Amino acid sequence: MNAISSPGARKRSPWQALRGMSADRPHVFLLLLVTLLPLALMPWSTWLVLTLSGMAMGAMLFLMASGMSLTFGLMSVLNLAHGAFISVGAFVGASLLIYGLSEWSHNPSLWINLAAVLPAFALAALVAALLGVVFERLVIRPVYGDHLKQILVTVGGAIVIFQLIEVIWGPREIPVPRPEALRGALVFGGIALEKYRVAAVVLGVGLYALLLWVIERTRLGILIRAGVESREMVEIHGYRIGLLFLAVFAAGSALAGLGGAMWGLYREIITPHMGDELMISVIVVIILGGLGSVRGCFYGAMLVGLVNLYVGYLEPRLAAVATVGLMVAVLMWRPQGLIPVIKV
Amino acid sequence: MTPITNPSASPVARDGTERSDQRPAGRPEPSAILELSNVHADIDQYHILHGVDLVVPRGQLTVLLGRNGAGKSTTLRTIMGLTRITRGELTFDGRELRGMSTPRIARQGIAFVPEHMGIFSLLTVRENLLLAAIGGSPDPARLDWIFTLFPPLKRFWNQPAGTLSGGQKQMLAISRAVIEPRELLLVDEPTKGLAPAIINDLADAFVQLKAQQVSILLVEQNFHFSRRLGETVAVMSDGRIVHRGSMAALADDEALQHDLLGLGLGEHQ
């Protein structure tokens, strides 16, 4: 054994370790800080319930926001109609559950419930993806490279979609009862954890892992990450960035639709403009995480979900401004978001 | 674009004719792999290329020289379809490239290393090369050859490309261009800002590429580097080709260098 230890091998104090983490992994540092700090301000059991609820909200926000983040990162397209895809997903999913698979949804068996919920989620994602393809071809393609026109035409497109929802399903809110087996709570040692929230966290985290695997381990993911850095260089290597973008746009729309369907069951009520209302949180998430970064989007979504729930419990009057305040604080610390994606 | 102010640098403007060296008798003329004929191109409202006539012989290294703002980089970008041709013809191996998209041009067998290298800095060295291998994964024998050309790439295989030095990034950029067999390589100022030792390594790599009969069009400001590698040379000024001929002839004629480039070889670097 070599008795001489290198300077790098010296034991770091906890304070130094914390400072190192805030510099190297600001997203992990902030998530730990935001999650652990409220433990000092509330009972442990309350903290656990709120944490699970915040994670469930975060998981759904992540699904809704990831597509918009990638779309902006890859092609610099500001799609303000993203919220409309969330609403479409919610209505399509709810329609299948209410009108098509109602009996399975009311069955007490978890498996039969899942046989109703999962096709509803899949159909919501599929319809949103198809709508995304049409929207990209008709509305977004003519305005590549012009942010002002993108804002105008996507807001206009969103209005058309919201009106179409009202034409098809009516302007009123529609109650969406959760399937039997997903109602109620699981009780562990006196702490009640809502079943649907547990399921939302499992599904959201599972899809995040899948998305991360695609982005970081597959050839398609390499292309997407390369496209986020430089579209021109991807084309120089022989790839049609337009097709890649269309695929990402469709996948992003599908995730928005899925997120919308999940959100509908989470709130047990849907309205045509629910997507519009969620857009503020979605935009906060993608700015917090760093535009174009899937990992950043996940951490941003979790932070927004958790802060929303903790502050809502501790000081309800501040709940509405807490997430925007968090975004402002993060941007003052890291102006490009937690995990910025650099463009060359 | 900076206008050429020295009138002696634009012999075409003076007498309306383009200078051209005569090929020694008895040597067969290599066929052209790339031909630009009266190519005009605009960037926004600016007319940059004013009728470029350029021939790149098959299997040779052609150097495109000229002062800053002469239109050299725009010529390469126009060949790749990144700048639109407004007039003229552009043929590669007999096929018309005008109107083709950049990915389609690349798939014809043309690789392009731009001046800024275009490295994907967040991707690892491995991922940068994987992306350039159109077929999927790179051919192992070709990868070994690249590692012998540029050993640092093996050392930093799983490191983000953004952490490489300038010379290593240039090595990666050239490796990406040749990870697949290409018929034509377009390289824009590969020696810019690099240390002499790295420039020597790059020159050795180009010598090996030439030995594989790859046709290369190299835009360069470093005349010593160009002279060592180039067989043919074209000089641009003000968006036109003002001289075409053999590199040997230009290298031996200091007066011509002064006339075309405003600087003799003896004064260069």
Which residues, including other chains, have CB under 8 Å from residue A40's CB and lie 6 or more apart? none
> Which chain B residue's Cα is nearest to A342?
B122
| This prediction's pTM | 0.79
CA of B131 vs chain A CAs: smallest distance (Å): 7
Indicate whether B209 pLDDT > 80: yes
At residue A177 the predicted structure's pLDDT band, cuts being 50, 70 and 90, is confident
pLDDT top residue among B269 and A277? A277
How far from chain centre, in Å, is Cα A28? 17
**Are residues B101 and A240, on separate chains, in Cβ contact within 8 Å?**
yes
Residues B123 and B153 in one domain: yes
Query: Does residue B231 lie within any of the structural domains?
Result: yes
**Are residues B130 and A219, on separate chains, in Cβ contact within 8 Å?**
yes
pLDDT at A158: 94
B145-159 pLDDT tens trace: 999 989 999 999 999
pLDDT at B269: 45
Q: Is B132 on the interface with A (CB under 8 A)?
A: yes
Q: Are A297 and A66 in contact (CB under 8 A)?
A: yes
pLDDT top residue among A6 and B188? B188
Question: Which residues of chain A neighbour B122 with C-beta distances below 8 Å?
Answer: 225, 229, 341-342
Residues B103 and B149 in one domain: no
Q: Is A226 on the interface with B (CB under 8 A)?
A: yes
Question: Which residues of chain B neighbour A234 with C-beta distances below 8 Å?
Answer: 131
Query: Does residue B11 lie within any of the structural domains?
Result: no
**Are residues B102 and A225, on separate chains, in Cβ contact within 8 Å?**
no
A-B interface: how many C-beta pairs under 8 angstroms?
64
Range of the domain at B83: 32-109+185-268
Chosen domain end from B129, B160, B181: B181
Q: Is A237 on the interface with B (CB under 8 A)?
A: yes
Please give the tally of structural domains in chain A: 1
DSSP A41-70: TS-HHHHHHHHHHHHHHHHHHHHHHHHHHH
> Nearest by CB to B131, which of A223, A241, A344?
A223
DSSP designation for A339 = S
pLDDT at B7: 33
A253-287 pLDDT tens trace: 999 999 999 999 999 999 999 999 899 999 999 99
Range of the domain at A77: 47-271
Indicate whether A342 pLDDT > 80: no
Query: Does residue B26 lie within any of the structural domains?
Result: no
Chosen domain end from B129, B157, B181: B181
Indicate whether B91 pLDDT > 90: yes
Please give the tally of structural domains in chain B: 2
Which residues, including other chains, have CB under 8 Å from residue B44's CB and lie 6 or more apart? none
Residues B91 and B152 in one domain: no
Residues B149 and B37 in one domain: no
A198-251 pLDDT tens trace: 888 999 999 999 998 998 889 998 998 898 888 899 999 999 988 888 998 999
**Are residues B123 and A226, on separate chains, in Cβ contact within 8 Å?**
yes
pLDDT at B28: 57
CA of B185 vs chain A CAs: smallest distance (Å): 12
pLDDT at B263: 63
A143-169 pLDDT tens trace: 887 889 999 999 999 999 999 999 999
Query: Does residue A21 lie within any of the structural domains?
Result: no
Whether the predicted interface score ipTM is above 0.90: no
Indicate whether A314 pLDDT > 50: yes
Query: Does residue A333 lie within any of the structural domains?
Result: no
Residues B80 and B151 in one domain: no
